[in-house]
Amino acid sequence: MDLIEVSGLTKRYGGIVALSEAQFSAWAGEVHALVGENGAGKSTFIQILSGAVHPDEGKLQLEGQPYSPINPDAAQALGVAAVFQELSLIPDLAVEQNIWFRREPRTALLTVDGKALRRKTLELFDKYRFPPLDPARELRRLTLAERQLVEIAKGLAKDPRILILDEATSALPAKEAEWLLALTRQIAAEGRLVIFISHRMGEVRAIADRLTIFRNGSTVASHVATAVSDDEIVTQMIGRPLVRLYPERKATATERIALKVDDLRSGSRLTGASFELREGEVLGVGGLQGHGQRELFQSLFGASRATGSIELWGKPTQIANPRHALIGRDGIALVPEDRPGQGLLLTKSVRENLTLSVIRRFTDKGFLSRGREAALVKEMVDFLRIKAGTPEQLAGTLSGGNQQKVIFGKMLLTEARVLLLYDPTRGVDVGTKGEIFQLMRDLAARGYAILFYSSDLPELVHVPDRVLVLRSGRVAATLGAGRVSEEAILRAAVLDEAA
Chain residues that interact with ligand ATP, rule: CB under 6 A: 13, 16, 18, 36, 38-44, 85, 387, 397-402, 429
Report d(CA 492, CA 23) in Å as an integer.
Answer: 47
- Which of the choices Mg ion, ligand ATP, none does residue 387 contact, using the CB cut-off of 5 to 8 A by kind? ligand ATP
**Interface pick for Mg ion out of 51, 400, 409, 464 (rule CB under 5 A):** 400
Non-local (6+) Cβ contacts of 227 within 8 A are: none
Report d(CA 98, CA 426) in Å as an integer.
Answer: 25
Report d(CA 297, CA 470) in Å as an integer.
Answer: 12
Report d(CA 453, CA 489) in Å as an integer.
Answer: 13
Q: Which is nearer to ligand ATP, 387 or 433 (CB)?
A: 387
Assign residue 204 a region (left: φ > 0; alpha: ψ between -120 and 50; beta: otherwise): alpha
Q: Shortest distance, CB of residue 432 to ligand ATP, whole angstroms?
A: 9
Report d(CA 187, CA 183) in Å as an integer.
Answer: 6
Q: Which is nearer to Mg ion, 168 or 325 (CB)?
A: 168
Binding to Mg ion (CB under 5 A): which residues in 343-372?
A: none
- Among the candidate windows 3-11, 40-48, 51-59, 259-267, which touches Mg ion by CB under 5 A? 40-48
Q: Which is nearer to ligand ATP, 18 or 233 (CB)?
A: 18
Q: Shortest distance, CB of residue 394 to ligand ATP, whole angstroms?
A: 7
- Which of the choices ligand ATP, Mg ion, none does residue 219 contact, using the CB cut-off of 5 to 8 A by kind? none
Q: Which is nearer to ligand ATP, 38 or 212 (CB)?
A: 38
Q: Shortest distance, CB of residue 68 to ligand ATP, whole angstroms?
A: 19
Report d(CA 169, CA 163) in Å as an integer.
Answer: 14
- Which of the choices Mg ion, ligand ATP, none does residue 36 contact, using the CB cut-off of 5 to 8 A by kind? ligand ATP
Instruction: State the DSSP H helix or E strand holding residue 194, giving kind and residue range, or none if neither.
Output: strand 193-197
Q: What angle do CA 50, 51, 55 make, to 5 degrees?
A: 110
Q: How many CA atoms lie within 13 A of 225 on its CB side?
A: 18
Q: Which is nearer to ligand ATP, 225 or 395 (CB)?
A: 395
Q: Do residues 14 and 392 make contact, with C-beta atoms less than 8 angstroms apart?
A: no
Which of 130, 69, 71 is CA-nearest to residue 99?
130
Binding to Mg ion (CB under 5 A): which residues in 74-103?
A: 85
**Interface pick for Mg ion out of 35, 40, 41, 43 (rule CB under 5 A):** 43
55 near Mg ion, judged by CB under 5 A: no
Rg (CA), the chain: 23
Q: How many CA atoms lie within 13 A of 52 on its CB side?
A: 15
- Which of the choices Mg ion, ligand ATP, none does residue 38 contact, using the CB cut-off of 5 to 8 A by kind? ligand ATP
Would you give the DSSP letter of residue 340?
Answer: I
Q: Shortest distance, CB of residue 351 to ligand ATP, whole angstroms?
A: 15
- Which of the choices Mg ion, ligand ATP, none does residue 13 contact, using the CB cut-off of 5 to 8 A by kind? ligand ATP
Q: Shortest distance, CB of residue 200 to Mg ion, whole angstroms?
A: 14
3-class state of residue 95 by DSSP? helix
3-class state of residue 237 by DSSP? helix
Q: How many CA atoms lie within 13 A of 310 on its CB side?
A: 21
- Among the candidate windows 14-22, 38-46, 264-272, 469-477, which touches Mg ion by CB under 5 A? 38-46
Cβ count within 10 A of residue 116: 14
Which of 325, 381, 390 is CA-nearest to residue 355?
381
Size of the site for Mg ion (CB under 5 A): 4
Q: Shortest distance, CB of residue 214 to ligand ATP, whole angstroms?
A: 6
- Which of the choices ligand ATP, Mg ion, none does residue 163 contact, using the CB cut-off of 5 to 8 A by kind? none
Q: Which is nearer to ligand ATP, 39 or 424 (CB)?
A: 39
Q: Which is nearer to Mg ion, 196 or 275 (CB)?
A: 196
Q: Shortest distance, CB of residue 36 to ligand ATP, whole angstroms?
A: 5
Residues that bind Mg ion (CB under 5 A): 43, 85, 399-400
